[in-house]
Chains A and B, each alone.
Chain A
Amino acid sequence: MATATIDSPDTHDDHDEHHATSTGISNTKLAMWTFLGSECLLFGGLISTYLLYKTRRGPGPDNTAIPTDIFDIPFTSVSSFVLLMSSLTMVLALSALTRGDNAATRAWLLSTAMLGSVFIGGQVYEFTGFIREGVGFTHNPASSAFFTLTGFHGVHVSLGILMLMSLYVASKQGKLTPKHTETVEIVGLYWHFVDVVWIFIFTVIYLIPVD
């Protein structure tokens, strides 16, 4: 950017020496990979909890319904497809920025965020439907585990949307240039991770039949 500064010779050496990291991967990217490694265990714990509790209906005649009794697989399949497509648009955003096509970058960033929002909208719709049918968060262990697992994922997607929109605003202000492809790439890492996690969650909750 237009930072006007003059380098004194002695700091110059530092500069060159230090910008090369020991692994060759930039600090930020390595940090994101490390963080995502930690996230695997977070979702691992939540998925295990759901697997343990998925058929626990709780006592009493009123508490018998569990999420797997009432969910709508075709509906969630569609919203899963929408989320997966957002990974494609994320890649297209990165590719557009690499080419220096700012308008296309913004368009693809926005569509990624929109697809994510559609997914979140679908989740809100599903949650309200469940609650209307009496399967709320506090209903029984199965529903508590269901809402916790999918809720945590939803929060992750929402944070991702926030990041995408921040990128969009930065691009609008002209701060997102081809030099920043790595920033977009790192947000992309997070976004793809959240998508991949959903593949597991969708399989565990919706596709594996419950006895």
Chain B
Amino acid sequence: MAIIEEPLALTSGEAATAERPLGGLTRPQGGNGWRDWLSTVDHKKIGIMYGVSAMFFFVVGGIEALLIRWQLAAPEGQLLSAEVYNQVFTMHGVTMVFLFIMPLAAAFANYLIPLQIGARDVAFPRLNALSFWIWISGAIFLNSSWIVGGGGADCGWFCYSPNSGLAFSPSHGVDFYAIGLQIAGIASLLGAVNLIVTVLNMRAPGMSLFRMPILTWMLLVTQFLLLFALPVITVALFLLMFDRLFDAQFFNPATGGDPLLWQHLFWIFGHPEVYIIILPSFGIISEIIPTFSRKPIFGYSFMVFSGIAIGFMGWGVWAHHMFVSGIGPFSVAAFSLSTMFIAVPTGVKILNWLATMWGGKLLFSTPMLFAVGAVAMFTIGGLSGVTHALAPADTQQTDTYYIVAHFHYVIFGGGVLGLMGGLYFWWPKIFGHMLNETWGKVHFWIMLIGFNLTFGPMHVLGLQGMSRRIDTYSPGFGFELWNMVATIGAFIIALSVLVFFYNVWRSRRDAPNLPAPGPDPWDARSLEWMIPSPTPEHNFDEVPLVESEDEWWHRKYGYDENKRVVRIATIEEVAQDGSAEGVHLPAPSFWPLVLALGLPLIGYGLIFNLWLCVLGGALTGLALYSWALEPVDDPDADHGHDDHHDDDDGGDDDAAEPEAVTSGAEGGE
């Protein structure tokens, strides 16, 4: 990990010895192979691990989607029983939202935020590793219910009460849902705290907030949404867990409980969650479109403020998910209105993207295709969204396939396509070689066609009255044709994902025979492109001094006397060469992994045997204190400087204190 220098002898002649606070504990050296990955605190490796795991769960959720579509391809489908069908569509939704899109966005956030603001790492590197390990242990815990919990959760991804109660869902699936999402939520909360502090505190000199790239801005808004939305779902999940495991009386109408409470708590989280999913993609699109239009983003401050506005207004629209729950005409009217208002900042963004492209020298490379595709598909999803902002129309549409069509256009069309574009765009920065352009374009067109074939017909099915979540339908309702089209489309999407994986494999195989992409293959605009590809371990040789928005572009281009853009420097002249030595990086640690292993044990314990909780709690506690007491750095290395890392943990309440004490060791030099 760290580029380690030998400790130098002191002038007094005394040998230099580093302090070991507890004598026994040391930081691992990293080394290579799997140990390196398990103990890494490098934001780039953590980002890659998020990305790889997210793609794995994309395949899992995709297989669940194909099962759903196979079942519904023709009337009287027999592939899945009604019970299994309920589990499959529930786990499809949960997997795609919590185990695919959110971690893929987290991958971009982890990898790119420090690079875009000119930092060497995030504010709390070990906490960052902890977020990843907790998330993956939650993800595995959640999916283990297929094996040990008697099947997956079967209550839909929003798991309405009383369907989620013991009476209607007697297997352990919902318990795994409640606890698994809590574990994943801890990960996102810690990540949010970490990234917010990183963005606010670790910007390079001159990088004022309003010089930050739009992607960083959108990710910052996303982290704030996570910060405030997650505790609300945490409350809801705790109440659900208490109901199911400890006989509390929260959601059982028979004993005075109120199912509407769940709906409110869930959607107060759930609607901001929609923006948590979409804003990272908006940020990526806002990086790609200016680069391939050869123009700066149109209306930078409007883009930033509309993102912030979406972040705020996202809190005031949750009850539009509940128009038919009987919340009363006044509430319905108010939320109907606020929902229409939130289309305004979103529309601002779409117009600004179009205005950025207007008059630009457009270059339709694969990232640009995905970005433009995402804008187009999101616009369709946004428009159908406005149709159910109108409560009377929504009353007709709710719980039909029209809704399914809408949110897939938003989340898949707007979210996933944008993230895919981001993968193509930053692939050379992350892995040091480009993805094949031809296969990338094949991937894009197959995915776009498959996507529209799958979800376009669902608008029609929904308006024809096909309700969502039914496991099959009888012939004669006119549902046959469009269901078959949708199923064919789903398999075309699957094909496009295979093309993507093939492209990844092929590009990697071909990379040694192709010229290296260099630091800046797309002639892009933000700071991450001024350093070599793949990113060196220490990110920046020296931290850049930022003088304008689109800093990197302004280092390459200037204006002549006629105010025309002229090239003032080649990439090679102004890029850093990654040769810095002696940059002190945070030492790796195994404790985040150990701590994260304790949480699923507590989860299994709550469900099966409380003694396991004791074991899991002990493991967590041991890891917390070991974490706090392990030296801030490798004691055998020269750690005269801990660089910029206050490598401790302010986010996790009982970790905060003891850790901070040891970090005193660094302050005392």
Q: Which residues of A contact B (CB under 8 A)?
A: 1-8, 10-12, 14-15, 17-19, 21-23, 25-32, 34-35, 37-39, 41-42, 44-46, 49, 52-53, 56-59, 63, 137-141, 143-145, 148, 156, 159-160, 162-164, 166-167, 170, 175-177, 179-180, 182-183, 186-187, 190
Complex contacts, B189 vs chain A, CB 8 Å: 38
Return the contact of B203 from the options A22, A52, A179 (Cβ within 8 A). Answer: A22
B242 contacts A45, C-beta separation under 8 Å: no
**Docked complex Cα distance between A211 and B225 (Å):** 37
The residue that A31 contacts in the complex, of B17, B123, B207, B246, with Cβ under 8 A, is: B123
A15 in contact with B660 (CB, 8 Å): no
On chain A, the residues within 8 Å of B120 by CB distance are: 18
The proximity string for B residues 231-260 relative to A, scoring 1 for CB distances below 8 Å and 0 otherwise, is 110111011001000111110001111100
Pick the interface stretch among B397-405, B487-495, B567-575, B651-659: B651-659
Residues of B in contact (CB 8 Å), total 82
Q: Are A30 and B639 in contact (CB under 8 A)?
A: no
For residue A18, give the distance in angstroms from its CB to the closest CB of chain B. Answer: 3
Q: How far is the CA of A164 from the CA of B657 in the complex (A)?
A: 8
Contact of A28 with B249 at beta-carbon distance under 8 Å, contacts A141-B255, A166-B658 already known: no
- The stretch of B6-14, B107-115, B471-479 in contact with A is B6-14
B558 CB-CB contact with A under 8 Å? no
Interface string of B257-293 (1 = CB under 8 A from A): 1100100010010000000000000000000000000
Judge whether A18 and B257 touch: CB under 8 Å: no
> A179 vs B7: C-alpha distance in the bound complex, in angstroms?
25
A41 to B234, CA, bound (A): 10
Task: Report, nearest first, the 3 A-B pairs whose CB atoms are least far apart.
Answer: A31-B650, A18-B644, A45-B235
Complex contact A30–B197 (CB within 8 A): yes
B628 CB contacts on chain A under 8 angstroms:
166
Residues B227 and A141 in contact, CB atoms below 8 Å apart: no
In the complex where A1-B668, A5-B16, A27-B197 touch, is A59 in contact with B657 (Cβ < 8 A)? no
Write 16 A-B pairs (CB below 8 A) sorted by A numbering.
A1-B664, A3-B18, A3-B19, A5-B640, A8-B5, A14-B543, A22-B201, A22-B202, A23-B200, A27-B202, A44-B231, A49-B261, A148-B239, A167-B657, A180-B667, A186-B657
Interface string of B631-647 (1 = CB under 8 A from A): 00000001111011010
Q: A38 — which chain B residues lie within 8 A by C-beta? A: 189, 192-193, 227-228, 230-231
- The answer on a CB contact under 8 Å between A190 and B653 is yes
What is the CA–CA distance of A7 and B7 in the complex, to the nearest angstrom? 9
Known: A21-B202, A35-B193, A53-B250. 11 other contacts (CB 8 A): A3-B18, A5-B638, A6-B640, A15-B640, A22-B202, A26-B646, A38-B228, A39-B231, A41-B232, A163-B653, A187-B656
Does the CB pair B18–A186 fall under 8 Å? no
Contact across chains for A1 and B656 when beta carbons are under 8 A apart? no
A59 near B256: Cβ-Cβ < 8 Å: yes
Is the Cβ of B648 less than 8 Å from the Cβ of A28?
Answer: yes
Contact of B227 among A6, A22, A34, A164 (CB under 8 A): A34
Nearest CB on B from A163, distance (A): 4
Q: For the complex, give the distance between the alpha carbons of A5 and B640 in Å.
A: 5
The verdict on A4 contacting B14 (CB below 8 Å), with A18-B643, A38-B228, A58-B255 known, is yes
A-B contact count (CB 8 A): 245
Q: A138-B246, A159-B654 are in contact. Are A28 and B646 (CB under 8 A)?
A: yes
Report whether B235 and A183 are in contact in the complex, using a CB–CB cutoff of 8 Å: no
Given the known interface contacts A5-B18, A5-B638, A144-B242, the answer about A170 and B661 at a Cβ–Cβ threshold of 8 Å is yes
CB-nearest residue of chain B to A163: B657
Query: What is the bound-complex CA distance between A148 and B240, given in angstroms?
Result: 12
Contact A186 B660 (CB under 8 A): yes
Closest beta carbon of chain B to A144's beta carbon, Å = 4
Check if B194 is an interface residue, CB within 8 A of chain A. yes
Check B201 against A17 for contact (C-beta < 8 Å): no
Question: In the bound complex, do residue A6 and residue B238 qualify as a contact, i.e. CB atoms below 8 Å apart?
Answer: no
* CB atoms of B247 and A138 under 8 A apart: yes
B667 & A10 in contact (Cβ 8 Å cutoff): no
Chain A residues contacting B124 (CB-CB under 8 Å) are 27, 31
Residue of B nearest to A15 (CB): B641
One digit per residue, 1 when the CB lies within 8 angstroms of any chain A CB and 0 when it does not, for chain B 189-231 equals 1001110110011110101000000000000000000011111
- The smallest beta-carbon distance between B252 and chain A, in angstroms, is 8
Question: Is A2 touching B231 in the complex (CB atoms < 8 A)?
Answer: no
| B665: Cβ under 8 A from any A Cβ | yes
Contact A183:B657 (CB < 8 A) given known A1-B665, A25-B201, A42-B234: yes
Contact across chains for B656 and A163 when beta carbons are under 8 A apart: yes
Choose from A148, A170, A175 the contact partner of B242 (Cβ within 8 Å): A148
Q: Is B31 an interface residue (CB 8 A)?
A: no
Cα distance, A29 to B646, chains bound together (Å)? 10
Q: Which residues of A contact B268 (CB under 8 A)?
A: 45
Q: Is B410 an interface residue (CB 8 A)?
A: no
Establish whether residues A5 and B639, one from each chain, have CB atoms under 8 Å apart when the complex forms.
Answer: yes
Question: Are B664 and A59 closer than 8 Å at their CB atoms?
Answer: no
For A186, what are the chain B residues with a Cβ–Cβ distance below 8 Å?
A: 650, 656-657, 660
Nearest opposing residue in chain B for A22, CB measure = B203
Q: For A163, what are the chain B residues with a Cβ–Cβ distance below 8 Å?
A: 653-654, 656-658
Kindly state whether residue B582 has any CB partner on chain A within 8 Å: yes
Given contacts A31-B124, A32-B656, A186-B656, contact A175 B664 (CB under 8 A): yes
Residues of A within 8 A of B21 (CB): 175
Residue pair B17, A144 in contact (C-beta under 8 Å): no
* Docked pose: A115 CA to B231 CA in angstroms: 28
Most buried by A among B193, B235, B247: B235
Q: Which B residues are in CB contact (< 8 Å) with A6? A: 7-8, 10, 16, 638, 640
When the two chains form the complex, which single residue of A7, A156, A170, A175 contacts B653, counting CB atoms closer than 8 Å?
A: A156
In the complex formed, the residue of B with least CB distance to A8 is B582
B235 touches A11 (CB 8 A): no
Kindly state whether residue B560 has any CB partner on chain A within 8 Å.
Answer: no
